[in-house]
Chain A
Amino acid sequence: MSETFSSAGPVIVVAIPAAGATLVALSGRWPNVRDTWSTIAALAMLAAVVAMLPGVLDGRIPQATLLELAPGIDVTLRADAAGMIFALLASGLWVVAGVYAVGYMRGGNEHKQTRFFAAFALSLAAAGGVALAGNLLTFVLFYELLSLFTYPLVTHRQTEEAIVAGRKYLAYTLSGGVLLIGGTAWIAILGIDASFTAGGFLRNASLSTGTAWALFALLVAGVGVKSAVMPLHSWLPSAMVAPTPVSALLHAVAVVKAGVFGMIRMLAFVFGADMLNDMGAWQVIAAFSAVTLVAGSLLAIRHDNLKRRLAYSTISHLSYIVLGVAIVGPIALTGALLHLVGHGVTKITLFFVAGAIHTRTHRENVSELDGIGRQMPITMGAFTLASLSMAGIPPFVLFTSKFYLSWGAAEVEKQLFLVLYLVSGVLSAAYLFPIVVRAFWRTSDAFTRFGEADMRMVAPLVITGVLALAWGLVPDVPFSFFDLATDVSSAAFPDSASVAGAR
């Protein structure tokens, strides 16, 4: 099976962006140097993660134990398959998001860019820590730091609206954080080793029903905030006041993916399938996420502001992932992990486009976008690719993940959710396809003056748009996402035979 060996790799992954942040902060006076540091850090972090990939696929898990942070609990960073998926996604998308951000910030002549890029890098360090955390306390440590480091990004514009959005953001994320802290401290005082174990480390802890449910409520609600599960979701649309690279980061890479990743950790690595089934707790999460899935999509249709529409779309799609884990089945878990990756790359494309449009034309609302496809064909082309992916059209990546999610639901006889998944594609199409239609098939004179946005913004969105298609066709190129996902599922459900289905 898999064996753990001691390695500095995981530490390097987290240390690189932290060092990068320092270098960025110090080189504030030379913008080109500063932005170069930012890009180098992103590439280096990706390289560090990729370097660990062959070993992990082979079953050799690198682990680094740092200091003892609480009596009996060490800070442990471990690059298991699940962590690798998130780390690859985060670091990979940081590369493109970083380039995009430079283009956006310079194009819009934004203020305080040094603070922005430094906080960006620190947030990635925290996200890396969340991905590679080996036990609950380490997870909580980096999870809270993530909330802290993303705050300056949310409030970047420093307008009254931004400050209010920042307060809401902090209120929600810190509240979730204290719930997590409560649960983690409780588990620690019970003397349970909180190292993430596929199948759940609480399984053998013989907890009383009351304790189990209380811990469940604390831990799941704690990660539920960043996962934007309703009713804990309303910080996310408010946070759209941030500059678009931040929204792209929050929505595709760092914060919300950390939230659903945390949900995956809690459900599959803390409680585990057996406990969730025995307690019936999976029904609670399934209910909330199912509602969120539908309601998010319906609300997305209502909103005219493009970024808000995308925000509600994210809320909906995050619940695809949460529901996939709540269903408690190996194939569904594989689908959920693939959806994590796929949604990340797809949604970031959509946000990149929104930002490019805003930079070029200062338009924010869908109703103003008639005919923009003529003037910004590449940009809107990428948008079209991403929209097809979001609707789950084959052969895009979100089709693949939805396929597994639906199959997974059928596999464990929870057909209701199968239907839900099938229907959801229609909803996604409903709020995205009209934009494509408007852009290409309607005409207006509003955009004749504009062309494509800066290359630094267009190139990334083309890359991610193409990836949304490519990863649907060959999800293992180049990062072996599919293999990693099936590794996670087979570890979490060791008795199940139906894990690694062929495509």
Chain B
Amino acid sequence: MVLIAVAASTAAAFWELVVVLQEGTQAYRLGSWAPSIGIEYVVDRLSAFVAVIVTSVSVLVIIATRRIAEREAGDRLGAFYSLVLLLLAGLTGMVVTGDLFNLFVFLEISSLAAYALVFQGGRSAMLAGYRYLILGSIGGSFYLLGVGFLYFTTGTLNMADTAAALALDASARSVQAGAIFIFAGLGLKMALVPLHLWLPDAYTHAPSSVNSLIAPVMTKVGAYAMMRMFISVFPDGYLTNVVPIADALLWLGLIAIVFGAIIAVAQRDIRRMLAYSSIGQLGLIAVGIGLATPLSFVAAQLHLMNHAVMKATLFLSAASVRLSTGLNDVSDLTGMGRRMPGTMAAFTLGAIAMVGIPPTAGFFSKWYLVQAGVESGHWVVVAVVLASSLLSAVYLFRVLEHIYLRPAQPDAVHAPVVIPQGGSNDQPAGAGESPADVIAPALLLGAATIVLGILNSWIVINVLGRAGL
């Protein structure tokens, strides 16, 4: 049932993308109220693109984690999936709305569902979930405060109308305040350094079925919202010249790239390593937004897609390992190449893409970002983006060494963490590969990293709308 709902949503997203590409931006008025009074949904290329990404990755993750969810949620499976659907509704709602306050509502819906989902992860998840709740609420409230400032200045909540009003006159101090609070709120939601503190614990301790879902998509939608502010709300140049939000994004992003990668190297738990890796990768997206040129936005959007796919692959691989053996540490992966070849193949594909070997998708994210850096004369960007490939290689290839090059330790398997349901799902110690419905989506996502890389030019030109250079 859940699958039907999510699959239908995915199909709708793809359909919408096709429509938008052919006919231009679509708009829908809730209750047929005119925009200033009613809430308007606006789907342009960017919205459709992000919606497709969020829904398709979610579908695959939900398929893959079905067994895991059954084990982890037990008899609360119904409530669990309700929360998952709520989460997705919130995320897709954020993507398609054209109203600032509506964005807040969907933001809080998805966040609330996420808090509850993260909390399911057992003892250590409780404190992580609670902290996530507190910090996340701060973010949402800051965003709301920022919207308030904007509303009182422009008199409208509709994004397009706000843009028109600000284009006429954006000199008021309250607009600056609004911009800053919105930036703070969305920055926290997209885990921009130093507002990232909720992320490592939440991703590490959440149940496998949850972090595989949240990690690829939640922060991306936050980044999307930030992009939306740049593109559709504030006038061109306002966020660069008047209030230096763009510069803040740029520099915090650069710091995040380096910080995330370095801390990731020091981690023993795979999930925590991937969490810090995500912080670093989000830095890349932030840099793309912060450079604030058409090319850099394309780079940020492309990396939004690429990273969602790559991280989903990696988290699903980790989830598969946890399902089969109950293990979490990098050192526990020693010799897994023999025992879980499919899962490890997926992990390898994800890792190679993260490092950025052509023709995987990760390579092209860096390609466009480097070009954006050259174009704006920010040589630091070029250097840091190129260095991030090497830094990612350090912590990812170390894992690959364990998987393929070091001999397996026969005593390394613990019993699975969650109680087996009995029957064929019982995995004795020394377990082998996970079932096909767990590995197949992971491998599919891994293959997608290569396919999306090869198709990147088509995507950039036709979907994101950037013609030639």
Against A, the Cβ 8 Å flags (1 = close, 0 = not) of B380-392 are 0010001101100
Against B, the Cβ 8 Å flags (1 = close, 0 = not) of A180-215 are 011001101111000000000000000000000000
**Within the assembled complex, what's the spacing in Å between the Cα atoms of A168 and B367?**
25
B374 and A148 contact, CB distance less than 8 A: no
Task: Please pick, from B358, B454, B460, the residue contacting A145 in the complex, using a CB distance under 8 A.
Answer: B358
Least distance between A123 CB and chain B CB atoms (Å): 14
Residues of the B chain whose Cβ atoms lie less than 8 Å from the Cβ of A158 = 405-407
Against A, the Cβ 8 Å flags (1 = close, 0 = not) of B443-469 are 000000000001011101100001111
**Within the assembled complex, what's the spacing in Å between the Cα atoms of A499 and B169?**
70
A188 and B366 contact, CB distance less than 8 A: no
**Within the assembled complex, what's the spacing in Å between the Cα atoms of A182 and B373?**
10
A70 and B367 contact, CB distance less than 8 A: yes
Interface assignment of B401: CB less than 8 Å from any CB of chain A: yes
B359 and A188 contact, CB distance less than 8 A: no
A178 and B468 contact, CB distance less than 8 A: no
Residues of the A chain whose Cβ atoms lie less than 8 Å from the Cβ of B458 = 68
Known: A140-B358, A145-B358, A158-B405. A72 touches B468 (CB 8 A): yes
Interface assignment of B104: CB less than 8 Å from any CB of chain A: no
Interface assignment of B232: CB less than 8 Å from any CB of chain A: no
B389 and A178 contact, CB distance less than 8 A: yes
Q: How many A-B residue pairs have CB under 8 A?
A: 88
A179 and B386 contact, CB distance less than 8 A: yes
Least distance between A25 CB and chain B CB atoms (Å): 12
Task: Please pick, from A69, A72, A152, A174, the residue contacting B355 in the complex, using a CB distance under 8 A.
Answer: A174
**Within the assembled complex, what's the spacing in Å between the Cα atoms of A72 and B457?**
8
Against B, the Cβ 8 Å flags (1 = close, 0 = not) of A31-71 are 00000000000000000000000000000000000011111
Residues of the A chain whose Cβ atoms lie less than 8 Å from the Cβ of B356 = 181
B370 and A185 contact, CB distance less than 8 A: yes
Residues of the A chain whose Cβ atoms lie less than 8 Å from the Cβ of B460 = 71
B457 and A68 contact, CB distance less than 8 A: yes
Known: A68-B457, A70-B367, A144-B357. A178 touches B405 (CB 8 A): no
Task: Please pick, from A69, A167, A178, A185, the residue contacting B371 in the complex, using a CB distance under 8 A.
Answer: A185
B405 and A71 contact, CB distance less than 8 A: no
> Looking at chain B's contact residues, is the secondary structure mostly helix, strand, loop, or mixed?
helix
Interface assignment of B226: CB less than 8 Å from any CB of chain A: no
Task: Please pick, from A69, A73, A155, A181, the residue contacting B359 in the complex, using a CB distance under 8 A.
Answer: A69
B469 and A72 contact, CB distance less than 8 A: yes
Task: Please pick, from B387, B401, B466, the residue contacting A178 in the complex, using a CB distance under 8 A.
Answer: B387
* Chain B, residue nearest A71 (CB): B457
**Within the assembled complex, what's the spacing in Å between the Cα atoms of A188 and B374?**
10
Interface assignment of B236: CB less than 8 Å from any CB of chain A: no
Residues of the B chain whose Cβ atoms lie less than 8 Å from the Cβ of A448 = none
Interface size class of B (residues with CB under 8 A): 35 or more
A67 and B469 contact, CB distance less than 8 A: no
Least distance between B94 CB and chain A CB atoms (Å): 29
**Within the assembled complex, what's the spacing in Å between the Cα atoms of A147 and B355?**
13
Number of chain A residues close to chain B: CB under 8 A: 34
A70 and B456 contact, CB distance less than 8 A: yes
Interface assignment of A175: CB less than 8 Å from any CB of chain B: yes
Interface assignment of B426: CB less than 8 Å from any CB of chain A: no
B468 and A69 contact, CB distance less than 8 A: no
**Within the assembled complex, what's the spacing in Å between the Cα atoms of A191 and B309?**
30
* Chain A, residue nearest B405 (CB): A158
Known: A181-B386, A182-B382. A69 touches B454 (CB 8 A): yes
Interface assignment of A163: CB less than 8 Å from any CB of chain B: yes
**Within the assembled complex, what's the spacing in Å between the Cα atoms of A181 and B371?**
10
Least distance between A439 CB and chain B CB atoms (Å): 36
Interface assignment of B106: CB less than 8 Å from any CB of chain A: no
Interface assignment of B393: CB less than 8 Å from any CB of chain A: yes
A141 and B359 contact, CB distance less than 8 A: yes
Residues of the A chain whose Cβ atoms lie less than 8 Å from the Cβ of B461 = 71
Residues of the A chain whose Cβ atoms lie less than 8 Å from the Cβ of B234 = none
A155 and B405 contact, CB distance less than 8 A: yes
Interface assignment of A393: CB less than 8 Å from any CB of chain B: no
Interface assignment of B375: CB less than 8 Å from any CB of chain A: yes
Against B, the Cβ 8 Å flags (1 = close, 0 = not) of A127-165 are 000000000000011001101100010010010001100
**Within the assembled complex, what's the spacing in Å between the Cα atoms of A181 and B387?**
11
**Within the assembled complex, what's the spacing in Å between the Cα atoms of A70 and B454?**
9
B469 and A71 contact, CB distance less than 8 A: yes
Residues of the A chain whose Cβ atoms lie less than 8 Å from the Cβ of B393 = 170, 174
Interface assignment of B130: CB less than 8 Å from any CB of chain A: no
A181 and B370 contact, CB distance less than 8 A: yes
Least distance between A4 CB and chain B CB atoms (Å): 23
**Within the assembled complex, what's the spacing in Å between the Cα atoms of A163 and B398?**
10
**Within the assembled complex, what's the spacing in Å between the Cα atoms of A170 and B400?**
13
Interface residues of B in 217-264 (CB under 8 A from A): none
Residues of the B chain whose Cβ atoms lie less than 8 Å from the Cβ of A141 = 358-359
Residues of the B chain whose Cβ atoms lie less than 8 Å from the Cβ of A155 = 401, 405
Further 6 A-B residue pairs, CB within 8 A, beyond A68-B458, A178-B386: A71-B460, A71-B466, A167-B401, A181-B366, A181-B389, A182-B386
27 contacts between A and B (CB under 8 A): A67-B454, A69-B359, A69-B454, A70-B456, A71-B457, A71-B467, A141-B358, A145-B357, A155-B405, A163-B406, A167-B397, A171-B390, A174-B355, A174-B393, A178-B386, A178-B387, A181-B363, A181-B386, A182-B370, A185-B370, A186-B370, A186-B371, A186-B374, A186-B382, A189-B371, A189-B375, A191-B469
| A interface residues, Cβ below 8 angstroms from B | 67-73, 140-141, 144-145, 147-148, 152, 155, 158, 162-163, 166-167, 170-171, 174-175, 178-179, 181-182, 185-186, 188-191
